[in-house]
Chain A
Amino acid sequence: MKNKTITYIVLLNLTVLVLLAIFIPHLMISPGKLIDAHIDLTTDCFACHTPFIGSTSENCTECHKVPEIGIKTTEGLAIDKEDKNVAFHQKLTEEDCVACHSDHKGVQAFRPIGQFSHQLLEPDVEKQCDSCHLNPGDSLHQKIKGNCSSCHTQENWTPATFDHDKYFRFDRDHTTECITCHISNDYSNYTCYGCHEHSRSKIREEHVEEGIYDYETCVECHRSGDEDEAESIWRTKRMKEGKSKGGTRGLYRREHDDDDDHGEHDDD
């Protein structure tokens, strides 16, 4: 067979292939099957695509009205059980559907829906994690409400940065609810005056008796219910500060005289 004949055959085949790409693009060039919900659009690329622009959010919202997402279907039927993970669509700062969604199987790997950015949410909603996320319900999280960002980031659930033992180790005398120490579920702060055992007056009395006036930041010395450990930490701390300040007991007393006065008022 001559080269020219081969060339003509190749050209003829190419013409057929290009025509097929034009007339049956869903088979020739579509990057994978559409999601089931859009399967009816398989042969109508331009239902979503605008040539040389892409899929605009306007195309999506023609059918998916933003105020109705998660509430009504595109056919206007009420959705019985609202999906918490869908209703946030009404709280997005901008409508950019394809930032998260892709309908073609071949593209989903590069634009997974899990890549959702929390920064797309309105600032007040961004902080309300439990408006979309469910509490995992384990023994730790059952006791916690809100303020998730103390331990978790918006990128991933794990690793969670929090290790309570670094601050305070629980023992049999401290099997209490989180809220006992973390008032108003504020995990950035704590108090040891939340139970009867540690009333403010009792604690002051015990510490002053030992000549300790700097007792408000409890976990500096009390890393667990072990008092010997607390005493040891306090002695070490006092020695270090004594070296750097040349003896600080008098200073401690002066600094905390005012606190004691306030403390008395607080107790009243």
Chain B
Amino acid sequence: MERSLIRKEVLPFLVMFGSLILATVITDALLHQFELVWIGRWLGIPGTILILASFLYSMRKRKVISLGKPKTLLTLHETLTWIGALLILVHAGIHIYTILPWLALVAMLVNVISGMTGKYLLDRSRRFLAEKRGAYSKQGLSDEAIEKKLFWDATTFDLMKKWRAVHLPITMAFAVLGIAHIFSIFFFWQWK
């Protein structure tokens, strides 16, 4: 119960995000190892499709559709965006040739982070704070003492709530930049 919020909740989140980056590095290294770098060029397509499919949850949440259990769709949302983000990251590689796709990539990463914040931090830390507060209360501490003891945890929790609020606008930024990138590819692609 005395374990800090950062150690108990932030670290698993970092592990989840770190695993995405690690998976990207490994996939990219394998493609290079087996001289299959050309595959990376096309991974943007399945990556985009998976991310688009993950919006089923967002649509369900906003009652645009009524099909599917929200909990199942949320799990699907998390899984598809993780894999989709992995494919997009491999697709981007580490070559910086131009600005727009990189901005789209940064927007995607911020989006993924804000999404993981929601998954790993917000719900669990709310529960964690309530448990801690209950425990201190049982110990007979006064409200003032409890607030004092929970100060840093509560501050972290507040910051997380604000961070979570970025998820939707940053999704919009990712969508616009991603569409601009895709449009520019269609516009200049060698179709013949």
Are A and B co-members of a single complex? yes
Q: Which residues of A contact B (CB under 8 A)?
A: 3, 6-7, 10-11, 13-14, 17-18, 20-21, 25, 27-33, 45, 49, 51-56, 98, 104-106, 109-110
Q: Which of B98-117 contact A (CB under 8 A)?
A: 98-101, 103
Q: Is B173 a contact of A54 with CB atoms below 8 Å?
A: no
In contact, A98 and B190 (Cβ under 8 angstroms) = yes
Closest chain B residue, CB of each to CB of A24:
B99
Bound CA span A14–B168, Å: 14
Binding site for A on B (CB under 8 A): 37-38, 41, 95, 97-101, 103, 165-166, 168-170, 172-173, 176-177, 180-181, 184, 186-192
Is the beta-carbon distance between B100 and A17 smaller than 8 angstroms?
yes
CA distance A33 to B189 in the complex (A): 17
Say whether B189 contacts A54, CB under 8 Å.
yes
A11 and B138 CA atoms in complex are apart in Å by 49
- Minimum Cβ distance to chain B for residue A193 (Å): 48
Q: How many residue pairs bridge A and B at CB < 8 Å?
A: 78
In angstroms, Cα B186 to Cα A52, docked, is 6
Among B37, B181, B186, B190, the one with the most A-chain Cβ atoms within 10 Å of its Cβ is: B190
Contact residue among B98, B172, B173, B176 (Cβ-Cβ distance under 8 Å from A32): B98
Closest chain A residue to B173, Cβ basis = A10
Task: Give the distance to chain B from A122, nearest Cβ to Cβ, in Å.
Answer: 22
Is the pair A28, B166 in contact by a Cβ cutoff of 8 Å? no
Instruction: Report A53 CB to chain B, min CB distance, Å.
Output: 6
Q: Which of A3, A11, A55, A106 contacts B97 (CB 8 A)?
A: A106
A29 to B101: give the CA distance in the assembly, Å.
7
What B residues does A105 contact at CB under 8 A? 97
B95–A53 touching, CB < 8 Å: no
Q: Which residues of B contact A33 (CB under 8 A)?
A: 97
How far, in whole Å, are A17 and B172 apart by their CA atoms in the complex? 13
CA distance A18 to B100 in the complex (A): 9
CA separation between A29 and B187, bound complex, in Å? Answer: 11
Contact A55 B190 (CB under 8 A): yes
Known A18-B180, A56-B192; contact A10-B98, beta-carbon cutoff 8 A: no
Contact between A7 and B184, CB atoms less than 8 A apart: no
Give the 8 A-B residue pairs with the shortest CB-CB distance, closest first.
A54-B190, A32-B97, A106-B97, A29-B184, A10-B169, A28-B100, A14-B176, A7-B169
Establish whether residues A51 and B173, one from each chain, have CB atoms under 8 Å apart when the complex forms: no
Other-chain residue from B41, B169, B180, B192 in contact with A3 (beta carbon distance below 8 A): B169
Closest CB-CB distance, A112 to chain B, in whole Å?
11
Q: Which residue of B lies closest to A31 (CB)?
A: B97
Are A3 and B168 in contact, CB atoms less than 8 angstroms apart? yes
| Distance A52 CA – B177 CA, assembled complex (angstroms) | 19
The interface residues of chain B lying within 8 Å CB-to-CB of A30 are 97-98
A7 x B172 contact (CB < 8 A): yes
Given A6-B165, A29-B100, verify A52-B180 contact (CB < 8 Å): no
Given known contacts A17-B177, A29-B100, A105-B97, is B188 in contact with A10 (CB within 8 Å)?
no
Bound together, the chains give a CA A203 to CA B92 distance in angstroms of 71
Q: How far does the alpha carbon of A239 sit from the alpha carbon of B137 in the complex, in Å?
A: 104
In the complex, chain B residues whose CB is within 8 Å of the CB of A52: 186-187, 189, 191
Shortest Cβ distance from A32 into B: residue: B97
Interchain CA distance A109-B93 in the complex, whole Å: 13
Which B residue's beta carbon lies closest to that of A13?
B173
Residues of A within 8 A of B192 (CB): 53-54, 56
User: B179: shortest Cβ distance to chain A, in Å?
Assistant: 9
Q: Which residues of A contact B177 (CB under 8 A)?
A: 14, 17
Known: A17-B177, A21-B180. A29 touches B188 (CB 8 A): yes
A106 to B100, CA, bound (A): 14
Measured CB to CB, the closest approach of chain A to B175, in angstroms, equals 9
CB-defined contacts of B187 to chain A, threshold 8 Å: 51-52
